[in-house]
């Protein structure tokens, strides 16, 4: 076991010596997840810088299943437990703390936060970096807009590098958070798609983005046709298939999915239908858009649709189910709703929901 100060050449300060594992900073997020799964991550202490390009991740015992550079003895104060703790330390009043952000997410090396009416954004950003030592940039989320659903973000603290690699359940997503959207609240749904698909299934992902659902499904052994029209998102989609070792199972198209489907699914040869189709676009159920019609035409009898929608609270799940049933009736195909789920709150009075259905 080696020893060393957590801040490079900084002298040791008196305090209780505890264990930490040293890893490269780009791996910090995935290592923390793995340490949590093993039950040895110590969330009562800070992740700290170590030897320039590394970080020291606090642990309660040496890990048995996680590869690390070394196990070290770490000296340091106990973690301030909350953002409010850090802001109080910076002199914030209780009234100001009431306006501080209540939620945020760490995506790779970036913290995404909705600032709302919080005062002094720079101090909030610095406090979030102190709270999350594995991150080096804090972005304020200002919304998403445009035909390609592009994010509007502002750097409020840190290095300002918006390109990162985010890891979830073993899937690596490379992306630039200033260029393409990423919803931390969809984490469970991304993981679920990798769990329910079977090896050898033919899958159509009509709004693939950077590979949100494509990657976990392909990693599970499915053959996926992934369609994305945003050129930046498409570039990351292709890069991410290679990053995750699934390029041979993903046929990627930069186009409007309706145009691709109108010319047929050549990727599947004579079997030009799919076993499963994912419509991850919030407005995919809009009857005027025709996305459901194209999905139904591509789906083999007995296939499954996963339809996403942002629905007014008073119409959950009535509206997406009615739209799906109407499109299926127009196509002359029986449909059976298998499951309905709330994914997250999208905005005030609006819910992101998913409907799973079997179509014969």
Q: Residues annotated as binding site? A: 183, 190, 228
Structure tokens at 145: 């807009």
Say how far apart CA 186 and CA 345 lie, in whole Å. Answer: 11
Say how far apart CA 178 and CA 150 lie, in whole Å. Answer: 8
Report residue 99 CA to chain centroid gap.
Answer: 26
Smallest CA-to-CA distance from 111 within 101, 96, 120, 119 is with: 101
Q: Are strands 223-227 and 202-205 parallel, antiparallel or unpaired?
A: parallel
Which DSSP symbol is given to 132? -
Instruction: List own/partner pairs for 283-290 with CB under 8 A and 24 or more apart.
Output: 283/309, 283/310, 284/206, 284/207, 284/308, 284/309, 285/309, 285/319, 285/320, 285/323, 285/324, 286/323, 287/323, 287/326, 287/327, 290/258
Say how far apart CA 151 and CA 137 lie, in whole Å. Answer: 16
Across-strand partners of 267?
none
What is the 3 state secondary structure string of 269-336? CCCCCEEEEEECCCCCCCCCCCHHHHHHHHEEEEEEEEEEEEEEHHHCCHHHHHHHHHHHHHCCCCEE
Do residues 148 and 229 make contact, with C-beta atoms less than 8 angstroms apart? yes
Say how far apart CA 180 and CA 302 lie, in whole Å. Answer: 34
Q: At what angle do helices 318-330 and 291-298 cross, to 10 degrees?
A: 60
Smallest CA-to-CA distance from 248 within 270, 232, 272, 224 is with: 224
**Binding positions for S-adenosyl-L-methionine:** 183, 190, 228
């Amino acid at each position: 076991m080696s020893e060393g100060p957590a801040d490079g050449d900084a002298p040791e300060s008196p305090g209780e010596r505890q264990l930490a594992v040293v890893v490269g900073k780009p791996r910090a997020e995935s290592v923390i997840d793995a340490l949590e799964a093993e039950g040895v991550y110590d969330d009562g202490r800070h992740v700290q810088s170590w030897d320039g390009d590394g970080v020291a991740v606090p642990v309660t015992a040496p890990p048995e299943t996680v590869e690390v550079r070394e196990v070290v003895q770490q000296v340091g104060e106990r973690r301030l437990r909350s953002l409010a703790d850090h802001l109080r330390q910076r002199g914030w009043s209780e009234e100001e703390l009431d306006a501080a952000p209540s939620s945020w997410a760490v995506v790779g090396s970036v913290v995404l936060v909705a600032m709302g009416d919080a005062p002094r954004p720079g101090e909030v950003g610095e406090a979030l970096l102190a709270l999350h030592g594995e991150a080096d940039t804090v972005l304020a989320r200002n919304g998403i807009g445009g035909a390609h659903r592009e994010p509007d973000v502002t750097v409020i603290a840190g290095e300002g590098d918006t390109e990162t690699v985010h890891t979830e359940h073993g899937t690596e997503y490379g992306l630039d958070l200033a260029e393409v959207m990423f919803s931390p609240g969809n984490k469970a749904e991304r993981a679920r798609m990798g769990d329910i698909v079977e090896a050898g299934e033919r899958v159509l992902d009509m709004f693939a983005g950077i590979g949100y659902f494509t990657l976990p499904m392909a990693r599970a052994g499915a053959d996926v046709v992934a369609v994305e029209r945003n050129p930046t998102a498409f570039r990351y989609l292709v890069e991410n298939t290679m990053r995750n070792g699934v390029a041979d199972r993903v046929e990627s198209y930069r186009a409007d999915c309706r145009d691709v489907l109108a010319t047929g699914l050549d990727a599947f040869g004579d079997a030009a239908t799919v076993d499963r189709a994912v419509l991850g676009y919030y407005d995919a159920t809009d009857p005027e858009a025709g996305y459901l019609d194209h999905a139904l035409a591509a789906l083999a009898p007995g296939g499954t649709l996963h339809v996403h929608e942002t629905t007014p609270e008073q119409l959950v799940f009535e509206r997406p189910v009615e739209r799906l049933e109407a499109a299926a009736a127009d196509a002359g195909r029986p449909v059976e709703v298998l499951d309905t789920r709330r994914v997250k709150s999208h905005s005030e009075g609006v819910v992101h929901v998913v409907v799973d259905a079997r179509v014969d």
